[in-house]
Chain A
C-alpha cells in the first residue's frame, strides 16, 4: 500500500541536516526509519531537523524510534528538532511524551556494589523485622487483651483451623515419627550392642524424642504442611483484594482471619508433638521387642524411668513456641504478598524457609536456656 510507505528525504543546510518524512510512521515502517537514522551522514553538523509535515499518521512505535534517534544523536552532541506535525501526530506525541516524561530516569549502571547491596539488605531486613513485630503485637492484643474488652476470638473458626492443621496432620506426623523412632533405635542399638547395653536404647529414644526430635520434626512437618498453606491462602486473599474487602466491611482481618490460624497452630503443634513422641517411642519399642529381644514391659519401664517430666515439658514448651512462630511467619508472608500469583508462590516458599530457619534458631536458644539454667 503506497500510503503506508515511508518517504525519507535528506537535505543539507548550513550547520544542520533537514530530514523530511512522509507517509505513515507506524510499527511497519518505523524499523526502516531507525535504519535510515543509523545511516545519516556525520559531516560535523550540530542539529538535525525532522520535518514531519507530510506524515499522515504516526503511532507510539514511530514516536519511540524518533526518541531513540534523539538519544543516539545527543551522544554525538547533535540535537534533534521536530517540526511541522499535523494535529493527529501532535496528539500521539503529546500523549506518548507525557507518559515518557513521567518515567523515572534509569539509574546509572554502577555494577554490583557490595556495600550498597549489604546496606539495602539490612534496611529491608530491618523494615520486615519492624513489620513482623508490629503484627505480633497486634496478634497478642487480639488473643490476650481483646477478650477482656468483650471481643472474644472466633472459636468456631479456630476449631475449623485446628481440624485443618491438627487432625488431618496426624497421619503424616505419625508416620514420620514412627520412622524416626525406628531409625533412632536401630542406630543406637548398633553402638550399644557392643557394650551389652541394648536396654539403654529405650533411654536414648525416649529422651531424645521427648526433648528434641518430637517437637522439632513435628514443627518441620507443620511448617511445610500448614505454614505454607496459611501463606498461600492469605496471599491469594491479599492479591484478590479479599483482605481489603473485609476491612471495608468493618471487619478486622487480624481478628477474623489471623488470630484463628495462629491460635490453631499454637494449640495443634504441641498436641501433634505429644502424638509424635508416643509414636516415635513405639517405633523404638518395636525394634526393642522384635529385633533386640527386649520384653515390651522392660522397654516401657526403662523408658518411664529414663524420661522425666521435665524432658516432656521442655519439649512441649518448645513446640508451643514453634507453633506460634510458624503461624506468625505464615500469616506475615501471606499478608505481605505483592505481585499476583508469582508473589503468592514466593511468599509460600519464603514462609517455609523462614519458619524452618526460625524453628532452628528458637530451638537452639531454648536448648541452651534449658541446658544452662
Chain B
C-alpha cells in the first residue's frame, strides 16, 4: 500500500489541518469502495490507515492526491479543496505533497540521481548542476551516494 506525506515545506505556524476528508464516497463502476469516509490529519502528526486487503486504503490515498475523482464528498489538502480543482492548480498543490507507491514507482528509464533530480528540474529554477548537487546531497544523506548512476532495476529491494 502506498504511503503519503503532506505538509512538507508548509508554514509550521499554520493551524489548518494537512488533510481533511468529509463524507468521501468512491466507486469503481457500480461497486462502492469508500462509503462516506471522514477524517482529519493535523499537520506534523502521523496517521496510519489499517485494514484488510481490498478495503480501500490505496483508493483513499489515490483520492487524496487527485489521482481518482470521488463520487461525492470533500477533500482538502493544506486547506485547499481538491475536488473539482483544475489540473494546473492540482499540479501546483502536489508540489507540496509526497506519495510513496507500493512498487516505489521510480522512473525505470532514469538513474537514481535523475529520478531525484526530476522534480527539482521541473518545479524549480535551479540550474542542472545545482539540482544535481542537491540530489547528490540528499541521496548521500540516506546512504545511497554510491548508487547514483544505477537504474532502479539494479538496486536491491530495500534501497528504493
Contacts and interface: CB of A to CB of B under 8 A. Distances in A.
Interface of A: 233, 236-237, 240-242, 244-252, 256
Given A250-B123, A251-B122, A244 B67 contact: yes
A94 to B, nearest CB: 13
Given A240-B105, A250-B119, A245 B99 contact: yes
B103 A241 contact: yes
B102 interface: yes
B66 interface: yes
Contacts of A240: 103, 105, 108
Given A240-B108, A242-B108, A248 B102 contact: no
Nearest to B87: A252
The 8 closest A-B pairs by CB, nearest first: A245-B105, A250-B94, A250-B91, A248-B99, A241-B101, A241-B105, A250-B95, A248-B65
A198 to B, nearest CB: 52
Counting chain B CB atoms within 10 Å of each CB, the highest count among A245, A247, A248, A250 belongs to: A248
Chain A interface, DSSP helix/strand/loop, else mixed: helix
B118 interface: yes
Contacts of A247: 65-67, 94
Contact of B94 (A236, A242, A248, A256): A248
Contacts of A237: 107-108
15 contacts: A240-B105, A242-B105, A242-B106, A242-B107, A244-B67, A248-B67, A248-B99, A249-B118, A249-B123, A250-B90, A250-B123, A251-B91, A251-B119, A252-B91, A256-B122
B113 interface: no
Interface residues of B, number: 27
A344 to B, nearest CB: 13
A241 B152 CA distance: 14
Contacts of A251: 91, 118-119, 122
Interface in B67-100: 67, 87, 90-95, 97-99
A317 to B, nearest CB: 33
B122 A249 contact: yes
A233 B109 CA distance: 10
Given A240-B108, A250-B119, A251-B122, A245 B92 contact: no
Given A241-B2, A244-B62, A246-B107, 17 more contacts: A233-B109, A237-B107, A237-B108, A240-B103, A241-B105, A242-B106, A242-B107, A244-B67, A247-B65, A248-B67, A249-B118, A249-B119, A249-B122, A250-B123, A251-B91, A252-B91, A256-B122
Nearest to A249: B119
A236 B122 CA distance: 23
Contacts of A233: 109
Interface string B36-70: 00000000000000000000000000100111000
Contacts of B105: 240-242, 244-245
A244 B66 CA distance: 10
Contact of A245 (B87, B97, B101): B101
A337 B155 CA distance: 26
